[in-house]
Amino acid sequence: MLIKKSADIEPSEITPESVYRSRRLFLGAAALGVAAAAGGALLLPRGARAVPPATFGTLPESRFNTDEKPTSYDDVTHYNNFYEFGTSKEDPARYAGSLITDPWSVSVDGEVEKPGKFALEDLLKPYALEDRIYRLRCVEAWSMVIPWVGFPLSALLKRFNPTSRAKFVQFTTLYDPEQMPGQRRDVLDWPYTEGLRIDEAMHPLTILAVGLYGRHLPNQNGAPLRLVVPWKYGFKSIKSIVHIRLVEQMPQTTWHEAGPGEYGFYSNVNPHVDHPRWSQRTERRIGTFFRRDTLMFNGYGDQVAHLYSGMDLRQWF
């Protein structure tokens, strides 16, 4: 793992940004409890991508929070995998300003009783009203500790009444090569797709993130809506989601299709299963020097190991 050093930014150093002028976005932000005496915005207005992201107010903390020190905000937002904007770790921060996140909509369909296509602010509004949005500071499998802001994916899925045939959940990223220049190259089969088994999707550690470090998601981190599954490798946490589909059969996923011998469907953090080209037995936190042992399920075994009881995790990697 490459190490990129920068000064840490503590949460106490993050102050609320000024109010944005879009009334429509202001209403969406208010529903999520955005901080600022005069209000805030959930999404950046068109033509205002240089404006710093709005901040959230006081939010409850997740019971799953780690005690580890968060990775610096600069590293979290400038060391990313987001191939839609390029294959270099620095490319997303360099090129993701082209992504327009207003308006944004998400389709939910498949094995559900209440399918539909929803404006993002309408999709998110219930979670502030029910106090379900919170902070989750968790260890990422690619050696960062990130304080996310989000809510359980299960809370959203239950709204659409999954049928008894819903065994898996498939997610799809926006496909728009004009906004996402990396999609003009065939490094992957676009659009990017990922998937979870339904019990994984319903686990309370699986969240839909709308922010990090108390701020709304920057484009390079998957704005305006991304998945976070902290016991799996990072590529499972799909970004800039536009489609959620519940299905009966295990869905095809982008990296598994690109390299089935390297990237399994489950992709649980497992130090006993090496990638064909490197060992996964040790890892190094970004911003530190020494390597450490990789923990099974990324350290969340007490919470999720029961999901895989009886499975051969060398075969179902």
HSE-up of 224 (CA within 13 Å, CB side)? 24
Domain boundaries 17-308, CATH class = alpha beta
Using left for φ > 0, alpha for ψ between -120 and 50, and beta otherwise, residue 10 falls in beta
- CA–CA separation, 282 and 297 (whole Å): 13
- Kindly report the pTM of this predicted structure: 0.83
Res 128: pLDDT: 61
How does the average pLDDT of the chain come out, rounded? 82
Report strand pairing: 193-197 vs 207-212: unpaired
- Contact between residue 268 and residue 232 where contact means Cβ atoms under 8 Å apart: yes
CB-CB neighbours of 174 under 10 Å: 20
Tens-place pLDDT, residues 196-216: 999 999 999 999 999 999 999
* Burial (CB count <10 Å: 0-12, 13-18, 19+), residue 118: middle
Instruction: Tell whether the model's pLDDT for residue 234 goes beyond 50.
Output: yes
Tens-place pLDDT, residues 86-124: 999 999 999 999 999 999 999 999 999 999 999 999 988
Q: How confident is the model at residue 47 (pLDDT cuts 50, 70, 90)?
A: very low
What residues contact 258, with CB distance under 8 A and at least 6 apart? 188, 189
Res 143: pLDDT: 82
* Burial (CB count <10 Å: 0-12, 13-18, 19+), residue 124: buried
Res 291: pLDDT: 87
Res 299: pLDDT: 92
Q: How confident is the model at residue 31 (pLDDT cuts 50, 70, 90)?
A: very low
Q: What single-letter amino acid sits at 8? A: D
Give domain limits for the chain: 17-308
Tens-place pLDDT, residues 62-72: 889 988 889 99
